[in-house]
Structure 1
C-alpha cells in the first residue's frame, strides 16, 4: 500500500469531529505551503534522510485532510513533518502558539517518568513515578509521541526532549494520547501503590515557576560569578580543581572581557585541573565556547596531559556538543558521563521563520558540521557513568564525583 495513502488513513483516524473555519482553512493552507517552500529553499540538504517526494506526499496528505483537522492537529502534523527531516535544528515549535502544560517537571530515566518538580498542589508527588496518562502506559506514550518530538538528533536527545514535551497538553491531545486538551488522568506509583488523579493544565507563566529538585540545580546556587553569565565556577581546594558549570552561553564579548581576571584568579591558586560541565546545555554559539577554551589555554599551571575533564549527557546538544568534541581535541579533555543528545556530525545554524497567518515559528538548518572523522550518532564518553534514581534522591552527583576521582589518580608511568 502506498505510503501517501497510509498517511491519509492515519490523519483521518486522528481527526476530531470539529475542524477549521473557511478563513482558517485558507490561512493554514497558505502557511503549510510557505513552510514547504522555505524548507526546500533554505535548508542546506533537507532530504538527506528521506526522498523529497516523501516529504511532499506528507505535505499533500496534511492539505488533503485539512478540513477534518483541528488547529492543534494541524500543529502536531507540522511537528511530525519537520521531525521527518531528522535534523534537530529543523523544527516546528508548538510553543510559539497558545499552549498549556501539565504541572510537573519530569526526568525520563531508564524508561521511567519521574517527577522532579511540581506546583504546590502536587509537591507530595515529587520523587514518585508517573506510570500512565489517560490509561496509556509511559512506554506507549513515549512510542506514540516520539515521531513528533522536536530538537532531536538521536535516541538520547529524544529521551531528553520527551521529559519536557510530555508536559505539553495540546500536543498530547492532538496525537491521541489524552482525551481532553485541558486535563488528563495521571496514574502514579506512590511508594509501590498505584494512585490515579485527574490533573488540570496551567499556563506557561505558572509552569515556569516550578523548580526542579535535581542536584545539579542546587550546585549552581553556591557557584561563584566569574563575569560570564551562564558559566559559574566552584573551586575544590584539595585538588586545585576549578569546576565550571557551563549551563548556558554568555556573549563572546563577556567571555573575552572577563578572561584576564579569571586567569589571574586561577593562576594565583595554582590551578592544576579543570572540569567543564556541559550536561544539560542545549547550545548557543560554539564560537563563544571556543573563546572560553582559548581563555583557559593561558593557564600555565594546569596539567594539560590529563588534567581537563568535560562532563556530558543526553542534554548536551548543538553548540555544547560541538564544544565538547572541540575541547576533547584542543584541550586534551577526557569526556565523562553519558552519550550526548547531539550528533557530532550534524546540520545546524538554524534559520527562524514565522508562518504568515498563524504566526507560529519553525526553523531550518543552513550549515553542516562534522566534528568526528567516523560517523556516529552521538559523542560518547571515554568514561561512562550515569546517575541512578537513588543517586538523585540522595543528592549525589556520581558524574562529578567520577571526574574528581579521575583527576586524583596519578598515572603509574
Structure 2
C-alpha cells in the first residue's frame, strides 16, 4: 500500500484538476490576466514584499503581448514563472490541467541524489538507479533550470519539489532540457544506463499505473503508518514515547472549519493516550516526528505543546523535521522546541519559519485556473529570517538505509545519552 501511495502522490496532484482539453481564446486569457492583475494584489496579505508592483504589472503585460504566439500550456507556465518571482511558497497557480504527456518514471530524493522509485516494467533495469543527467543536464543543472518555475524558500524545497517535475515532458521541453530526443543517464552499481523514454498520455495515467514496478524496501516505524493523520506508540525496550504527527488536521479541526468529518481521528483522544503514557510509563525520551507533515491548522499543535510543558523535565524531547515539513508543521516544530526545550533533529525544512500562509483561493473566470494566495504573515523568529528551520542535529537518510528499513534518525536518538 505504501508503494502505491508514494507513486500516486504526483499522479493525484496532476489528475486532481485534469479536465478535457479546451483551447481558450486569446480574449478569454486576456480577461483572466486582467482579473488576476486586479484580484491577487487585493486579496494577498502583502503581494509586493519581494516583487515590486511595477514589476508585477510589467511581467503580466509581457504575457499579454505574447498571447497570440502562446499555447494554453505556455501561458500557464509563464504565469508559474511570475508566481516564482513573487516568492511566496503558499501563493501559486494550478496549471496541471494543461499537462498532456509524461515519462513513466518516478523519483525520490536521497542523500546521494535522485533515485528511481517506480518505473514502467519496460525499463525495469533502472529501478533504484541514480539519475546522472537528462540530455546532458546534471541534477545541479536541472535544479537551476527548474528554479524559474518552482517557488521554493530554499534549496531543500527545490530539491524536494523537483521530483514531481522530472518526468513531465512538456515542462522539460519548455525549459529546453529536451527537444526531439530525451536521454536519461543512470548509474546502477558499476554500470551506466542510457534510456530514451516513450512518452505516455496523462489522461491514461491511472490505467498505466498497472504497468509500474516499485522499489522494494523494508518498512520501519516512520513509514509504517505515514498515511495516518497522527498516531503514537511506546517503545518499551528503548523507553521512548514515539508520536508521529503527519498532518495538522483532525476531527476537531474539521468541525471548527465547518467541514465536519466524524470519520476522522480525534486529536483529543490521541492527546489523552499520550498523557496516559507519560504518567504511567517509564519514559526517557519523547520523540515527535514531523517528517511527513506539510501543514494544515497549527492551533491544535500549539495548544498540545503548551499542555506538555509541565512534563518537560521528565524526559528529553526530540522533534524530527525534514524537507516535507512545511507551513503549520514548522510553527508546531518551534512550539514543541520552545515548550519542551526540545532538540530539532533531521534535515532542514521545506519552508521558512517566518512565512506567509493561511491560504485562500479563487478561480480565474474563463480558464477556471485555481489561484491560491496567503492572507496572513507568520513571524515566528525575531531579529532573524532564515530560509529554513534548521535542525540542531543533522541526520540524512541514505539509499541503502531506506532499502534496509533503517531509520537513521530514530537510531541516532536511541544512542544519545
TM-score above 0.5, yes or no: yes
Q: Please name the residue that 2:132 is paired with.
A: 131
Change (3 A) 1:367 1:162: same
Q: Please name the residue that 2:118 is paired with.
A: 117
CA–CA separation in structure 2 for the residues paired with 1:91 and 1:41: 15
Map residues 3-402 of structure 1 onto 2, 5 A cutoff. 24-109=25-110, 112-150=113-151, 152-179=152-179, 184-199=182-197, 200-201=199-200, 203=202, 204-205=205-206, 213=215, 218-219=220-221, 222-223=224-225, 229-251=228-250, 253=252, 254-294=266-306, 296=308, 300=311, 304=313, 307-373=316-382, 374-402=384-412
Per the TM alignment, residue 98 of structure 1 is displaced from its structure 2 partner at its CA by 4.8
CA–CA separation in structure 2 for the residues paired with 1:155 and 1:348: 20
Give the number of equivalent residue pairs: 378
Q: Please name the residue that 1:13 is paired with.
A: none
Change (3 A) 1:237 1:398: same
SS of equivalent to 1:65 = helix
SS of equivalent to 2:196 = strand
TM-score by length of 1: 0.82
Q: Please name the residue that 1:7 is paired with.
A: none
SS of equivalent to 2:366 = coil
RMSD: 2.9
User: Does the aligned pair in 1 maintain the 2:358–2:375 contact within 8 Å?
Assistant: yes
Per the TM alignment, residue 58 of structure 1 is displaced from its structure 2 partner at its CA by 0.9
TM-score by length of 2: 0.81
User: Does the aligned pair in 2 maintain the 1:255–1:291 contact within 8 Å?
Assistant: no
Per the TM alignment, residue 208 of structure 1 is displaced from its structure 2 partner at its CA by 7.3
User: Does the aligned pair in 1 maintain the 2:337–2:343 contact within 8 Å?
Assistant: yes
CA–CA separation in structure 2 for the residues paired with 1:213 and 1:306: 38
CA–CA separation in structure 2 for the residues paired with 1:336 and 1:325: 12
Per the TM alignment, residue 358 of structure 1 is displaced from its structure 2 partner at its CA by 1.4
Any stretches of 5+ residues in structure 2 without a counterpart? 1-21, 253-265
**Is 289-298 or 119-128 further displaced after alignment?**
289-298
User: Does the aligned pair in 1 maintain the 2:218–2:403 contact within 8 Å?
Assistant: no
CA–CA separation in structure 1 for the residues paired with 2:220 and 2:200: 27
